[in-house]
Amino acid sequence: MNHFLEISDLTYNQVQAILDQAFSYKSNPIFPDFSNYRQANLFYENSTRTRVSFELAAKNLSIPVINLNIDHSSESKGELIEDTLANLKAMGIQLFVIRHVQEGIQKALAKSLGDGIHIINAGDGTHAHPSQAMLDLMTILEYKPDLSKLKIALVGNIKHSRVANSLQCIFGLMGVGQFIMIAPKPWQPPKIHYGEVTDSLTLGLKEADVIICLRVQKERLLNEENLDLENYRRHYAITESVLKYAKPDAIIMHPGPVNRGIELDSSVMDGLQSVILKQVTNGVLIRTAIIQLLLT
Ligand code: CP
């Protein structure tokens, strides 16, 4: 594995190897030394969790990290991203963690810049967020180890969600029993890779073992016909009263950032069933495992 670009590039065994390594770090936090490598984080879209956890992951492995300030980089003077990477590579950086609004740009850069570097996709437009899918899977396995017996419900804007795309790929690959995506019609995707889609929250949540909420992108909501925040909340918010449709021990997840009181009530987010901060903790370990796998 030279690059980490999307879940559909990975085999079952590669996903399992990353999970095994992350769980091993969790039980025994001793990390190998990769201090002869250098990592650059290039985030062209905002991020808290992904950027910081990739930085902490590198530090676990003793890798010096550069966080390029995009607004103050020479791209503001017209330099192409390909040339930025080529210059960073010339300075001895081998690992590039990139988040970008343009779908597929990490794959194109991996192809054009050739060997000797490793590119990690930290999210590209509405296409893929593979490390998020990996950390979500790790968190689910901690609570519900038999994937084949699970019903997982994903609620929100499926059509525009890179997380939803990567989750479909990883749940299909790893054999999740039932995966149901719940969204109002304008947010249902034209094509799905794995699972089924419904616009009924009660049907989708029925007997679910895992509920994953997606962030309501308020900027999009206003543009969608017949959708407004109040309407969305009434039909799709995860509140204490809708939790009764799922199994009593269902876990609640969210990739973050959360709009408290919109897609998810504060009492549910902070409640006993929420594992949202466990996802964030696991994110550092999964990203450490991804980097280690790329470098060995
Ligand atoms: N889940 C996620 O990608 O969060 P950030 O945008 O904060 O990185």
Model-level pTM greater than 0.85?
yes
Encode 178-217: b = buried (16+ Cβ within 10 Å), e = exposed. Answer: bbbbbbbeebbbeebbebebeeebeebbeebbbbbbbbbb
From ligand 1's centre to the CA of 211, what distance in Å?
A: 18
269-272 contact pairs (CB < 8 A, 24+)? 271/240
- Mean pLDDT value of segment 106-110: 97
Residues 6+ apart with CB under 8 A from 72: none
- Mean pLDDT value of segment 45-66: 98
The average confidence (pLDDT) of the chain is 95
161 Cβ inside 6 Å of ligand 1: no
> Could you give the percent of the chain with pLDDT greater than 70?
98
- For 257-278, the pLDDT digits (tens) are 999 999 999 999 999 999 999 9
Supply the DSSP symbol for 253: E
> Could you give the percent of the chain with pLDDT greater than 90?
90
- For 127-143, the pLDDT digits (tens) are 999 999 999 999 999 99
Query: Is pLDDT larger for residue 57 or for residue 1?
Result: 57
Rounded Cα distance between 132 and 170, Å, is: 11
132 Cβ inside 6 Å of ligand 1: yes
CB atoms within 10 A of CB 237: 21
- For 197-215, the pLDDT digits (tens) are 999 999 999 999 999 999 9
- Mean pLDDT value of segment 211-230: 80
pLDDT-derived band at 59, boundaries 50, 70, 90: very high
Residue 220 has pLDDT above 70, yes or no: no
Distance, first Cα to last Cα, the chain? 9
Atom of ligand 1 nearest to the CA of 53: 8
255 Cβ inside 6 Å of ligand 1: yes
Residues 6+ apart with CB under 8 A from 290: 4, 18, 57, 120, 131, 134
- For 182-202, the pLDDT digits (tens) are 999 999 999 999 999 999 999
Instruction: Provide the pLDDT for residue 148.
Output: 98
Q: How many residues does the chain have?
A: 296
**Which stretches within the chain are classed as H helix?**
12-27, 49-60, 81-90, 105-113, 130-143, 162-174, 201-205, 218-221, 229-236, 266-269, 276-295
Phi, psi dihedral angles at 26 (to 5 degrees): -65, -40
From ligand 1's centre to the CA of 131, what distance in Å?
A: 10
From ligand 1's centre to the CA of 213, what distance in Å?
A: 14
Farthest-apart Cα atoms in the chain, separation: 57
pLDDT-derived band at 223, boundaries 50, 70, 90: confident
From ligand 1's centre to the CA of 23, what distance in Å?
A: 22
Rounded Cα distance between 288 and 268, Å, is: 30
49 Cβ inside 6 Å of ligand 1: yes
Residue 221 has pLDDT above 90, yes or no: no
What residues form DSSP beta bridges with 124? 100, 128
Nearest CA to ligand 1 atom 5: 47
The residue whose CB lies within 8 Å of the most ligand 1 atoms, and thus the one to mutate among 43, 45, 47, is 47
pLDDT-derived band at 234, boundaries 50, 70, 90: very high
202 Cβ inside 6 Å of ligand 1: no
- For 151-184, the pLDDT digits (tens) are 999 999 999 999 999 999 999 999 999 999 999 9
